Amino acid sequence: MKSEIKKLPKSEVELTCIVEPHEFAPFVENAIKTIGEGVEIPGFRRGKAPKSMILDRVGIMHIYEEAARDAISHFYAQCANQHRVDPLGTPQVTLHKLAPDNPLEFTIRVAVLPEIELPDYSELLKPLAKERRTVTVTEAMIEDSLVWLQKSRATRVSRIGASQQTDHVIVDFSMTHNGVAIEQGEQKDFMVRLGQHQAVSGFEERLIGVSKGENLEFNLPVTADYWNKTIAGKTIHFSVTVKDIQQEVLPEANDAFAESLGNFKTTADLRHSIKEGLELEEREKERQRFRVRILKEIDSHTICEPPEVLVVSELDTSIKNIKNSIESTGIAWEEYLKQIGKTEDGLRQEFLPQAQERIRFALIINAIAKKEKVEVSDEEVQAEVDKYLIKYRSLVQAGKDIDPKTLIAQTRDILKNEKVSRHLESLADKGDIK
């Protein structure tokens, strides 16, 4: 086989392969055997007819086309290995010559991992040490977390009298515009948390100071950028009936409350646990922020054009994750897009810069891993895989949810990325590589 490689823009290459007749011949013979097993020829069992009769029945070019598919797959792998190409995605194959007693000629266009020229990051990162932020947990943060715990276990009771801020007001309402009912503009038992500002601007304010059983009629202008495009930019008339007013009652933050949450004897024990948890959370946030800062610094000194196939895949994943999240709430994807006034293509364009950055970061980490010869042992991978699988009741259940090969590959990448990130952090901190 003879082959040539031509570099193309956007991290693509074109491989030209010429396979000599004697190299192609075994694939032709195999195609005759494979096709012959499915051909019925009177007087012969399947697959036992002479080659000439099989060729007469199906035609020589049908045989050659079948042989070419297998040959291209085989020699493409050889060609990529010969030219040290790391292909990405599905290649585009163009067949140029396929005829008896002639070489098989084809070209393959495929995206590849780009060649990245890394800067001297060991020196580049040293000045970043001063950008490390000290993690501090304040009493106010502890108090906020304690209040959140109280609210998570709050009860609601009906209020006698007028509604107040933070109350839950349950209403029935309908909307009209110029006397015409708004499509899907009627709601029953709709709960409004006063002070959250989640409804049309001005709606919650009209519900402050109302009483159970009260009926209200009022108009409100809706901004043009409101998520519900059915009423956006219009003046809407609301007819509201107050069905109930519920006030939130928080449990007292005493020792009994602390005991109800777990292995705590006093509120002091609970507050200490909250502080430890917040410190871990804040340290992790700072670690991730600093790691992104490091990658941004290296990225700003690196010429790297992310392959389009990787960017498209990253965008596909982002859209899929958002779509799954939205649909898990019971809202159809098309309805969600309508509500926010955007199209899926518009969202993809909006997410494009972040997707490109994430791919550049991944390529930089991969290049540094190669340069620094970062390795992850099978034992390290297996240990992390075991930690992941332990959440399943059985291996049978795990096998239904995950693909073992994918899990192992992803785990190896995660561990590799973690080692590279720690290495870069140590350089930024002017410390020894750990």
pLDDT digits (tens, 9 = 90+) for 5-64: 998 887 889 999 999 999 999 999 898 888 877 777 777 776 677 777 877 788 889 899
pLDDT for res 434: 41
Q: What is the distance between the alpha carbons of residues 70 and 186, in angstroms, rounded to a whole number?
A: 62
Mean pLDDT of 216-241: 92
Q: Work out the percent of the chain whose per-residue pLDDT is above 70.
A: 98
Its CATH architecture, for the domain 155-249, is Roll (3.10)
What are the residue ranges of CATH 3.10.50.40 in the chain? 155-249
pLDDT for res 47: 64
Q: Which residue has the higher pLDDT, 391 or 111?
A: 111
Mean pLDDT of 377-395: 86
Q: Which residue has the higher pLDDT, 110 or 305?
A: 110
Q: Tell the burial category of 244 from Cβ atoms under 10 Å away from its Cβ (0-12, 13-18, 19+).
A: middle
| Residue 159 DSSP symbol | P
What are the residue ranges of CATH 1.10.4030 in the chain? 304-428
Q: What is the distance between the alpha carbons of residues 14 and 16, in angstroms, rounded to a whole number?
A: 7
pLDDT for res 35: 82
Single-letter amino acid code for the residue at 121: Y
Beta-carbon contacts of residue 347 (< 8 Å; ≥ 6 apart): 319, 322, 337
pLDDT for res 221: 96
| Residue 137 DSSP symbol | -
CB 111 within 8 Å of CB 12: yes
Q: Work out the percent of the chain whose per-residue pLDDT is above 90.
A: 68
Mean pLDDT of 80-107: 91
pLDDT for res 431: 46
Q: What is the pLDDT of residues 307-360, one digit of tens each?
A: 888 999 999 999 999 999 999 988 889 888 887 888 999 999 999 999 999 999
pLDDT for res 312: 92
432 pLDDT above the threshold of 60: no
Q: What is the distance between the alpha carbons of residues 106 and 3, in angstroms, rounded to a whole number?
A: 10
pLDDT for res 22: 94
Single-letter amino acid code for the residue at 61: M
pLDDT for res 196: 87
Buried b / exposed e over 326-340, threshold 16 CB at 10 Å, is: beeeeeeeeebbebe
- Coil vs helix vs strand at 229: coil
| Residue 44 DSSP symbol | S
The sign of the torsion formed by the CA atoms of 49, 55, 59, 61 equals positive
Tell me the average pLDDT of the chain: 91
Can you read off the two tokens belonging to residue 238? 């609301």
CATH H-level, domain 2-112: superfamily: Trigger factor ribosome-binding domain (3.30.70.1050)
The sign of the torsion formed by the CA atoms of 119, 120, 123, 125 equals positive
pLDDT for res 293: 97
Of residues 216, 119, 131, 128, the one with CA closest to residue 175: 216
What are the residue ranges of CATH 3.30.70.1050 in the chain? 2-112
- CATH classification (class only), 304-428: mainly alpha
